[in-house]
Amino acid sequence: MVIHGLLLARFAAAPCHNALVVTNVFLVTDPLSAAAEPNRRRILQLLASQPRTVSEVAAEFTVTRSAISQHLLVLADAGLVEAEKVGRQRIYRVLPSGLQRLQAEINRFWTDELDSLVADAHSQHTHTTRRTS
């Protein structure tokens, strides 16, 4: 996305006084990271029930419409939502393929984490057993 790229270039070239904004909005590209932010998860839940305009989504939050637009941009860049321009408005909807990729990432994450946990537990048990013998 051209605007997103220009914003990244601007933030990369100048010192950033608001690192939280850069971290939460501009540098997220993968579905898991995009959906990890609570406002974006809520946006996904709202859009899963029906497509909505930015204003309709923003009406459900206490943050500004501009902040919601930025969150929607992150979700779109991550492939979780898409926008259709209708007149002067953009209608956002969830992309099923994006949610499937998100689910696959979550499954992969839990599989890897659980495998590591089991290996650590086994190693700890083996180490403890050797010391007590």
Give the separation between CA 100 and CA 79, rounded to whole angstroms: 10
Beta-carbon count within 10 A of 26 CB:
19
Under the banding of pLDDT at 50, 70 and 90, the label for residue 95 is very high
Give the separation between CA 21 and CA 11, rounded to whole angstroms: 10
The pLDDT value recorded for residue 48 is 95
Q: Does the pLDDT at position 94 exceed 90?
A: yes
The tens digit of pLDDT for each residue in 9-50 reads 444 444 444 444 444 455 667 898 899 999 999 999 999 999
Using a pLDDT cut of 70, give the percent of the chain over it: 74
The pLDDT value recorded for residue 80 is 95
pTM of the predicted protein model = 0.65
Name the CATH code of domain 2-95 (choices 3.30.1020.10, 1.10.10.10, 3.40.50.720, 3.40.50.300): 1.10.10.10
Residue ranges covered by each domain of the chain: 2-95
Largest CA distance in the chain: 76
**Contact 65/51 with Cβ under 8 angstroms?**
no
In sequence order, the 6+-apart residues with CB closer than 8 A to the CB of 89 are 53, 54, 55
